Each structure stands twice: as C-alpha cells, then as structure tokens.
Amino acid sequence: KAGVTQTPRYLIKTRGQQVTLSCSPISGHRSVSWYQQTPGQGLQFLFEYFSETQRNKGNFPGRFSGRQFSNSRSEMNVSTLELGDSALYLCASSIQGSSYSEQFFGPGTRLTVL
Amino acid sequence: EDQVTQSPEALRLQEGESSSLNCSYTVSGLRGLFWYRQDPGKGPEFLFTLYSAGEEKEKERLKATLTKKESFLHITAPKPEDSATYLCAVLQTSGSRLTFGEGTQLTVNP
C-alpha cells in the first residue's frame, strides 16, 4: 500500500510570493492534516480536512489556507510569503471514521523563503 | 491549553546501553498519546498509541508506557539504527488535532 505522498519535496521562493503544496493521502484515508515543523517551534498543527470540509484549524494567520478534493487529495496555500514561513510542511492522513485513528505522515515539503 | 514536554532534549548512548525517554503532558481529557520516530529529512513514522493509564506496548527494542501524567519510551539494548528524534504527541477528547512535544534526539554510538 502506497504511503502519503507530498509534492514538491523542495521549494525555494522569495518574500511576497505565494506557494501551493500538494498531499495525496493513503488510499482509503479520508482525513488529511497539515503541520509546520521548524527547529524553534517543533511540529505545529495548521488544519485538518475531512470529506472536503475543514474540521479543525490551528493558530496560524489567514495567509495559510487549504482545501480537500473529492478524492481526499489536499492542497495548502501560503500567500504573501515571509521569511519565517521557511519550514518543513508535513501532511498526515488517517482513516478517521467515528473514532480517532492514527495519523501517518508523508515525507514533507521543505520550503525556503529568501 | 494542551502542553507536552519531552526530556531530555538530547541523549547519547553506547550501543547496548538501555535508557528511557520521558514525555509529560497536560491535557483536558486524554484521548490518546502517540509516539513517533523521525529521521533527518523525513516525516515522522508512527510507533505506538496508548489510550489509558497502565497501558504498555512493545515493538522490538522499544516499549512505551503511560501514566496519568506522563509516558515513557524505554529503549532496551539500543543499536546505532535506533538513532533518530523521538516525538510524543497527545490528542484530547474534544478534538482531532495532535499536540506535539519538541522531541528527544537520540544518538546511539557503536
């Protein structure tokens, strides 16, 4: 069974630009969560999507947004990039039925903002 | 607000030298506590889920335990390939988001 895939793996952008990251969950998984990982803050929750609806949101500014498609694939977008947005962005998928199930992570997208 | 604190921040062991990593947590209603392993440049790899105090789970050289305030990840006779950052995360009963600790960076020397 294929794992969670994320594209692209690496990105270099400049301040003010916007970026879109993509995540394909494990087949059959309906929930996708996004996290930002930095050396100083660790793993911070961005948002979670389930059946194309945002179910939960972390404490990030509105420049960070996401969506989920009918096939459970998800994208996150960051507009007006700042230097502090440089991080590893991780996507995790889970089955998420009526009870919680474990989250499985992808390899991440390394974003560098210059 | 949920809080997860892991200690130590870094740990160096000799191959075969057993030790434990600690994860203490404050959460309003624990739904589950999760351990992950993360290698450099990769996403976290799921290890264990613990749901209630007294629960224990084992996988090869790793054993995770849970009390009402903390969890331990015991590593028995570690090998160099066990070197990684070990992350602990909690899920509260009212949500679906994980709150992670900062991790413990483990290095096992041959």
Residues A68-94: b if buried by 16+ CB within 10 A, e if exposed:
beeebbbbbebeebeeebbbbbbbbbb
pLDDT tens readout for residues A69-88 = 999 999 999 999 999 999 99
**Which residues in chain A are closer than 8 Å to B49, comparing Cβ atoms?**
102
Does A48 contact chain B (CB < 8 Å)? yes
CA distance B53 to A31: 27
Does A96 contact chain B (CB < 8 Å)? yes
pLDDT tens readout for residues B28-50 = 888 899 999 999 989 999 999 99
Residue written as token pair 């609806």: A53
Rounded mean pLDDT, A89-110:
84
Residues found in chain B: 110
